Amino acid sequence: MDTRPYMQDRAAEEFFSRLAEGMFQSTRCVSCGVLNYPPRVVCPDCLGEEMEWVDLPREGTLLAFTWQEAAIRCRKPEILGLVELEGVGNVLTRIDAPYESLRIGQRVAFDTWTSPDGLVLHQFRPLEEG
């Protein structure tokens, strides 16, 4: 059990700082090689404390989506989706597309979105289908 939650906050802070520069990254344990999302400062698998930041896939698969009427920071209605990133896991994220246009299994691509109060968040939008 991780008894240092503030350490995880530091990883989150670093994640958002990198995101603000257009980087979509998380941590990989140098000791055992496990890639974690969300990023960690301590490996949950081997408790290693040496982490490196690596790029996450910028394309994924939409597993589920919904919309919320009231949203903190975001305009409403806000579309939220669960996106599977191969080899990483699932990311809960903003989806930038009309709700009616979305379908399960759709391929989506990473992008960033800046909230009205200046926080840079990740979002995904459907890939053009040709």
Output 29 or 79, the one with its CB closest to Zn ion.
29
By CB under 5 A, residue 31 contacts Zn ion: yes
Q: Which pair of structure tokens corresponds to residue 125?
A: 């939008």
Q: Which residues contact 107 (CB under 8 A, 6 or more apart)?
A: 59, 60, 61, 62, 126, 127
**Block residue for tokens 């520069």:** 21
d(CA 125, CA 95): 6
Rounded least distance, CB 3 to Zn ion, Å: 17
Q: State the number of binding residues for Zn ion (CB under 5 A).
A: 8
Strands 120-126 and 89-95: parallel
The binder of Zn ion chosen from 11, 29, 95, 102 (CB under 5 A): 29
By CB under 5 A, residue 23 contacts Zn ion: no
The binder of Zn ion chosen from 48, 57, 89, 126 (CB under 5 A): 48
Stretch that binds Zn ion, among 26-34, 55-63, 86-94, 109-117 (CB under 5 A): 26-34
